[in-house]
Structure 1
């Protein structure tokens, strides 16, 4: 069950959607779903609803709210040069620090929606790094974080999530595309080292043969078998940490 809401975020009003189990079952644990670079749309709504139907209250906020109306885009929009330029402009204009500050309001919105106790975060593509950053910035509230085909998780940038490993208290799962220029092998090794040194409970899993975006149904590289594997890992993570 989807409910559209507005959130007073760090720099204005962010549109968002709250999802609850379609069968009317009670849900108490909350999850923040950090979008990919194409923004909230039907494909992500369906994913958020599937997560909610497993017994959670799921919040899917628009991280690009600072840009007003845009798109609509979908998983194939990146192939169009004009759309790609617009999308990348919004990605560059929405820093990790911005989303970190917004996440305080996202957590409050989950609480207002009835979520109690520790929460989980999950992010795809650009949202992956933000899910990890939230786990570090709000470590007293985030018990688990997952990222799938997340980009630049251990880059040279000052805001790279791997630099925050020492602040993370929850469990992490990192699902990596077999070939992904946004998260090459050297970054994977750097992230693993930082998490080990930081004493973080984590797993990094390589999905051999999967391309960046394989979990999202409207991407041209969507892979049903790989997507179902991702669902199994994600739901198991939250079942073990949020139950």
Structure 2
């Protein structure tokens, strides 16, 4: 069953002719690059909102869209169901609406944003970058790939940094290598993919899967900050 209490929402924005919701976190100085933060299959949980806050503390205007319309869970079977029932096109539209919102906000600098996604959100980070072209300058998937393994990545111009676990039971290393090849064949982008001695969701401090690895998480976070500031700063 979904968790009681729903998701962390504090903003509503137009997307594809409907209203989408999300969590917006602004940097202390009030000015910074825009960053879309894409949820795992747990939904827009308080933890994911805390991740957006963490990006904001680093200087980004971070927006985490709520792709599940308020539903959250800490049950893997329920998370898989929510992911399975989420229309991919609708999710990409909502994420595109998040890009529109960020680029229109006072205090967001630059004419392109970054996107960071975790698990399910990692795949959507790549889908969004392909859909939005040069409006997304940097894409960082954490242990996620598009649901269609034959996705062609046409339209993707963003720099790509990916983080994947060598012991991931959901995404094999061969699938990551294949995605890198497909990106290189379809675009001028040469993705930078890192593999860590860790399992799936090694960044998630809630440790729902029992795979959180603070050391590897710290390394991936440091690489992510350098990458985002290098392409958005």
Q: TM-score range by the shorter chain?
A: 0.7 to 0.9
Gaps of 5+ in 2: 1-7
- Alignment partner of 2:184 out of 196, 211, 217: 196
Q: Does residue 172 of structure 1 match 2:152?
A: no
Aligned to 1:221: 211
| CA displacement at 1:137 relative to structure 2 | 0.8
| In 2: Cα distance, 1:95 partner to 1:177 partner | 27
Which segment drifts farther, 3-12 or 189-198? Answer: 3-12
TM-align CA RMSD = 2.0
The alignment partner of 1:167 has SS state of coil
Gaps of 5+ in 1: 79-83
Aligned to 2:139: 145
Query: Normalising by structure 2, what TM-score?
Result: 0.87
| CA displacement at 1:12 relative to structure 2 | 3.8
Aligned to 1:130: 124
Q: Does residue 56 of structure 1 match 2:56?
A: no
Deviations 1:146-190 (A, max 9, x none): 01111456724xxx3xx11x4211100111111223321321221
Query: Normalising by structure 1, what TM-score?
Result: 0.84
The alignment partner of 2:166 has SS state of strand
- Alignment partner of 1:238 out of 213, 216, 228: 228
| In 2: Cα distance, 1:194 partner to 1:113 partner | 34
Aligned to 1:106: 98
Say if 1:239 and 1:173 are closer, same or farther in 2 by CA, change over 3 A.
same
Count of matched residue positions in the alignment of Structure 1 and Structure 2 = 221
Say if 1:140 and 1:221 are closer, same or farther in 2 by CA, change over 3 A.
same
Aligned to 2:195: 206
Deviations 1:68-120 (A, max 9, x none): x434x24xx22xxxxx1x32222112132222222221112213432232100
Which segment drifts farther, 86-95 or 226-235? Answer: 86-95
